[in-house]
């Protein structure tokens, strides 16, 4: 909100220019002393006509009162400009895979101990920060889905909960993409009067557990008006899964800070992700590094725009009472002087 000073009828201020003209037309600043002489001969030797010392004040007070009344008529006021935002947001449910394979380091730079999950968590945090007017929820999953945050506009709270998540947050092993998708659809359709509903599914594996298959879950989503964007993580080659501590998600390093490999992870088959996106008229993506993943979320951000309408209005506070009170005080003071110290002698 911004404030400024203005006049409702500024053209009336032009009348102020008449006041000095009036003073000049009077031809003098005060009145000559009014004394009677018994003979003209006595007055002839006086020389320059005497002027009363109070003449300047006598003329100034009425001019000041007139100027204040003109300012009053011009309507001084302050203008407070305000803007209201009316947003028609998108309901977004984020699905984040936290299965053990997300601890792989194949998306990081060489010698950089940054897991797939670390990169996904960082990019998700940035994505949430860009969607100010959207309700966003978060579901993590491995063998089972777990709701971290319902759909909310409190994105700070959502990010705080996202930062508490780590690999091992869900003890059950496996990757239940279908169950997680069905859970997200259920939460989205429970919210009425929304512009659109989307799911952003991020995973590095295949569906291998659960009661619901991914493609039928996507068909249900399509029937209910939910669009799914799928993102497959990881290099298209085998890589080792480093040892880590499931209670904290932290890597276990050797004595010299080296990675301790465990099993070998094979490239995932992302055909099912393509089918899910196609069924809901969404898009399917692949990310093999941090830059690609950030670019994918930027692309989704561009595709799923929020309608924002700005309504601007101005609230005025009138100030005419202050110059009016000053004018009345000036007139009262002038009348007081005229009846006391500046009383004119006939």
Give the pLDDT confidence score for residue 228 in this predicted structure: 97
If you ran DSSP here, which 8-state letter would residue 140 be given? E
Enclosing domain of residue 324: 2-82+313-339
Is 132 in the same domain as 251? Answer: yes
Evaluate whether residue 344 is within a structural domain.
no
Q: Are residues 71 and 111 in the same domain?
A: no
Which residue from 186, 218, 216 is spatially nearest to 201, judged by alpha carbons? Answer: 218
Lowest mean pLDDT among 65-69, 151-155, 281-285, 334-338: 334-338
My answer on whether 7 and 154 are in the same domain is no
User: How many domains in the chain?
Assistant: 2
Which residues does 153 contact at the CB level (< 8 Å), separation at least 6?
Answer: 133, 134, 135
The reply to whether 346 falls in a domain is: no
- State the pLDDT at residue 28: 52
Q: Is residue 210 part of a domain?
A: yes
- Please check whether residue 294 lies inside any domain of the structure: yes
Q: Are residues 299 and 173 in the same domain?
A: yes
112 and 243 fall within a common domain: yes
For tokens 């449910």, what's the residue?
A: 93
Q: Residue 179's pLDDT is what?
A: 97
Q: Please give the residue that has the higher pLDDT: either 173 or 314.
A: 173
Residues 183 and 35 in one domain: no
Q: Are residues 112 and 244 in the same domain?
A: yes
Q: Is residue 260 part of a domain?
A: yes
State how far the Cα of 140 lies from the Cα of 165, in Å rounded to an integer: 8
- Residue 225 forms part of a structural domain: yes
pLDDT at position 54: 54
Residues 9, 44, single domain; the answer is yes
- Which residues, at least 6 apart from 110, have a Cβ–Cβ distance to it below 8 Å? none
Do 273 and 175 fall into the same domain? yes
Q: What is the residue-averaged pLDDT of the chain?
A: 85
Identify the band that residue 234 occupies on the pLDDT scale cut at 50, 70 and 90.
Answer: very high
CATH number at 228 reads 3.40.50.410
Give the pLDDT of residue 40. Answer: 53
Q: Are residues 51 and 189 in the same domain?
A: no
Answer yes or no: do 19 and 94 share one domain.
no
Across 70-74, 207-211, 289-293, least confident range: 70-74
Q: What is the pLDDT of residue 143?
A: 94
At 53, the pLDDT band (50, 70, 90 cuts) reads very low
Same domain, 180 and 108: yes
Tokens of 182: 């069905």
Per the domain annotation, does 167 fall within a domain? yes
CB environment 43-55: b (16+ within 10 A), e (fewer): eeeeeeeeebeeb
pLDDT at 229: 97
Query: Whole-angstrom Cα distance, residue 173 to residue 235?
Result: 22
């Amino acid at each position: 909100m911004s404030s400024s000073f203005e006049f409702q009828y500024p053209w009336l201020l032009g009348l102020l220019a008449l006041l000095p003209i009036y003073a000049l037309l009077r031809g003098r600043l005060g009145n000559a002393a009014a004394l009677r002489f018994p003979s003209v001969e006595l007055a002839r030797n006086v020389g320059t006509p005497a002027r009363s010392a109070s003449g300047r004040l006598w003329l100034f007070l009425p001019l000041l009162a007139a100027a204040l009344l003109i300012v009053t008529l011009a309507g001084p006021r302050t203008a407070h400009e305000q803007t209201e935002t009316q947003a028609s947001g998108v309901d977004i449910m984020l699905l984040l895979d936290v299965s053990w394979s997300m601890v792989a380091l194949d998306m990081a730079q060489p010698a950089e101990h940054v897991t797939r999950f670390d990169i996904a968590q960082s990019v998700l945090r940035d994505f949430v920060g860009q969607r100010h007017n959207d309700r966003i929820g978060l579901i993590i999953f491995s063998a089972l889905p777990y709701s971290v945050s319902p759909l909310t506009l409190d994105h700070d709270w959502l990010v705080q909960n996202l930062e508490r998540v780590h690999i091992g947050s869900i003890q059950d092993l496996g990757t239940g993409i279908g169950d997680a998708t069905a859970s997200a659809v259920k939460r989205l359709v429970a919210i009425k009067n929304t512009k659109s509903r989307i799911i952003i599914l991020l995973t590095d594996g295949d569906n291998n557990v659960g009661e619901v298959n991914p493609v039928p879950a996507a068909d249900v989503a399509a029937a209910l008006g939910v669009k799914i964007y799928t993102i497959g993580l990881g290099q298209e080659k085998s890589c080792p899964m480093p040892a880590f501590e499931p209670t904290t998600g932290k890597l276990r390093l050797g004595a010299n800070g080296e990675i301790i490999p465990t099993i070998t992870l094979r490239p995932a088959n992302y055909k099912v992700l393509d089918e899910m996106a196609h069924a809901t008229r969404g898009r399917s993506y692949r990310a093999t590094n941090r830059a690609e993943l950030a670019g994918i979320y930027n692309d989704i951000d561009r595709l799923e725009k929020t309608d924002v309408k700005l309504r601007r209005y101005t609230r005025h506070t009138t100030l005419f009472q202050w110059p009016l009170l000053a004018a009345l005080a000036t007139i009262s003071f002038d009348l007081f002087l005229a009846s006391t110290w500046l009383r004119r002698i006939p």
